[in-house]
Amino acid sequence: MKKDFLAVADYSPSEVQELLNLAVRLKQEHQNGGNAPLLKGKVLGMIFQKPSLRTRVSFDMGMRHLGGDALYLSPSEVGLGQRESIADVSRVLSGYVDGIMARVFAHDHILQLAQWSSIPVINGLSDYNHPCQAMADALTIQEEFGNLKGLNVTYVGDGNNVAVSLMHICAKLGANFTIANPADYDMFSPAVDLAKEIAFDSGAKLTFLRDPHTAVKDAHVIYTDTWTSMGQEAESKKRELVFPPYQVNDQLVSEARNDVIVLHCLPAHRGQEITDAVADGEHSRLFPQAHNRLHAQKAILVHLLQ
């Protein structure tokens, strides 16, 4: 059966942990002189509907580290679902490359790519979730605290795609997940229902609040993201009026545990969802987190393509 990486929720807790353990080994190996060419001769086709720094460079370099290659396909070259049907793009690429990574707007586009592809498909981001980011998040938290079981992870801000995957990986690995977001900016309810099912098995606690100050009490991790994601630019003025109480600043961080770490998937809009003092301060792990995209994704690539 063809393997894909479309959502953290598709994998069992043990499978998620095995991927994280593989990421740790690959990171150590890279730091100790370089990775073995596990994917020599393999090529990853990368479809982008949205611009990217971390996703593009980390997947490209990940394939290089593993002895393979990556092929960047720009929005104008593919025109996914416009210039050519998704089914046709997927079937054509299946005969050219060994795997597909796609960064899209509509989650349905990822599902269609996987449906019609005969090679592995990786979700590099959709409007529903961001599973590759969640793997890097979990790796960063694990490096800091040893594992996620029983930790308190608090997300402050919009209940977006990043929040969904973070919630799901916390639930899988037994971390308590809390979100504080404004009214009308809740997470997609089916994603929450799924998280509750996962948490029932793992013993993780899920908490949904409006007040960020209550949410960060006893937090090991505070996580935030931009107030306005790509594709939501028309809402930016409205959002800039709603979200200021959810800014992650020195005051909010001081209300958490002394050993709290602060995460952000980047790009950050400094002075909005996070201040410079926090982003560059002692609790920040923003850049180790960004670097861990490379190593978490190498584990995914090895799992799917080796």
Active centre residues (catalytic): 103, 130, 133, 225, 265, 293
Paired strand residues for 262: 222, 284
Q: 221-224 and 261-264: which strand pairing? A: parallel
Paired strand residues for 44: 70, 99
In whole angstroms, what is the distance from residue 197 CA to residue 189 CA?
Answer: 13
Pick left, alpha or beta for residue 203 (phi over 0 → left; psi -120 to 50 → alpha; otherwise beta). left
Q: Are 109 and 140 contacting, i.e. CB atoms less than 8 angstroms apart?
A: no
Residue with tokens 């013993």: 203
How big is the chain, counted in residues?
A: 306
The encoded tokens of residue 63 equal 């394939």
Q: Are 126 and 107 contacting, i.e. CB atoms less than 8 angstroms apart?
A: yes
In whole angstroms, what is the distance from residue 245 CA to residue 181 CA?
Answer: 10
